[in-house]
Amino acid sequence: MRKIVLGLLLASSAAKGMNPADTTITVFTTAENTKLRLTETGKLHFKPSKQPMETEVCIFVDPAKSFQTLTGIGGALTDASAETFAKLPKDRQQELLQAYYNPVKGIGYTLARTNIQSCDFSSDTYSYVAEHDSLLKTFSVQHDQQYRIPFIKAAIAAAGGKLTLFVSPWSPPSWMKDNNNVLQGGKLLPKYYQAWANFFVKFIRTYEALGIPVWGLSVQNEPMAKQKWESCIYTAEEERDFIKGYLGPTLQKQGMSSKKLIAWDHNRDLVFQRASTILEDPAAAKYVWGIGYHWYETWTGSDMQFGNVQKVKESFPAKNLLFTEGCIESFKRDRINEWFIGERYGYSMVNDFNSGTVAWTDWNILLDENGGPNHVGNFCFAPVHADTKTGELIYTNAYYYLGHFSKFIRPGAKRVISSSNRTQLQTTAFLNKDGKLAVVVLNLTDKEIPYQLWIKGKAAPTVSLPHSIATLVVE
């Protein structure tokens, strides 16, 4: 099938007896000021097309030019998401799980992240060990048994029994740190480097014994941010040395060398400096699967710095890039239907994938009517909110923007060239293992833009609606 479709896409006169004109393009659209939400909006067909004029708007795709392989797309299963989920009626719980994890009736998430110990999106701070238990004899995830573990298991089941999960700490226990506090930054004391490395192993083993497979782990969430919530500072050199001297060897000795170790896990602004410091050291680099990053560099007034991500890929092509967290901050209930929310996701995802990213992880998949719970008042938006008083689920347009990628671009898909001749239309494209080509077209303008999908001398005319995202599935 894949060879047939490729033959069609490459516009050969016949591919195993099939006519290129028979290739069908199904268009799915989400657009502002319409009722279109991941809605099938038409079928297109290719026709022969000579050299386009420069006056013609085109999206050019070349499926023969392929790049990174997609690991997955998904969101974080935090304490806040789990606690909110538990307050929903059973039918709404099932609706949410289907909406996120069913690839036919929902958007088919295949990737997840969860926190090791508490984070800001927990109802309070907590630890898995007693004070000064460096041997971890008191280690217990009993706290997580109430909400989070059942929630993660329900998500795995809804995803068909398999969900690629990575785990991240926000802070070591307070007594392991120089500020004796899980909040407000501080640093891991060198005398506890080994105990903290052992802590990762203990957590992974415990979760896996409970039926939750762990695919990977990041070293530290946001290691350059001193936050009023759980946080811990590592310089690039400190993270490098912790990886090569403790965490990497410990994972290897404990039979966990297959776990994907992710460094950085912070914003794009410093991503190259961090990656180069760690990956230029062979003793550290051998343990690192990839570099994770977030999108919050915009707090400085900067735009999203995709070029820095691309520079990491260019400099270290053997390593992977993983978007580990992003959300719209400063929750306000009266803004929940504003269109900018989804557009930020679309803008980031198109450009992150074009920069070489293999996986993309949203932050909380579900929050309550206040943008929480959050024990420090850091309330944020999620793609779906629950009104815990009425049991209602509220889908923001971010849910649909995410679905334009996750539903149609599946694990194992290869990114292929997709190029626009107008900045008003942004695009990325992936060729799935089943031979279906998914081309995403993003329009952030107020204008309706007619354009052609053009592949090797064949073109199909269509229209991009104002403030819209469309996925064109070619098969």
Distance CA 397, CA 196 (A): 40
Query: Which residue of the set 83, 222, 297, 343 is catalytic?
Result: 222
Enter the tokens of residue 315.
């400099």
Q: How far is CA 57 from CA 24, 390, 444, 467, in A?
A: 21, 47, 16, 17
Distance CA 110, CA 129 (A): 31
Cβ atoms of 322 and 353 within 8 Å: the answer is no
Q: How far is CA 73 from CA 80, 152, 294, 316, 362, in A?
A: 20, 16, 14, 22, 8
Distance CA 58, CA 60 (A): 6
**Pairing mode of beta strands 384-387, 164-169:** unpaired
Determine how many CB atoms are found less than 10 A away from the CB of residue 252: 14
Q: How far is CA 384 from CA 86, 342, 380, in A?
A: 15, 12, 11
Cβ atoms of 166 and 217 within 8 Å: the answer is yes
DSSP summary character for residue 300: G
Distance CA 443, CA 346 (A): 9
238 CB burial (10 A radius; 0-12, 13-18, 19+): middle
**Pairing mode of beta strands 425-431, 437-443:** antiparallel
Distance CA 397, CA 38 (A): 10
Q: Is 222 a catalytic residue?
A: yes
Determine how many CB atoms are found less than 10 A away from the CB of residue 53: 7
Cβ atoms of 363 and 326 within 8 Å: the answer is yes
**Pairing mode of beta strands 468-474, 414-420:** unpaired
Query: Which residue of the set 230, 239, 325, 343 is catalytic?
Result: 325
Distance CA 162, CA 156 (A): 6
Query: Measured at the alpha carbon of residue 358, what is the angle toward residues 106 and 161, in degrees to the nearest 5?
Result: 45
Q: Is 280 a catalytic residue?
A: no
Residues contacting 354, CB < 8 A, separation 6+:
306, 415, 428
Catalytic residues: 222, 325
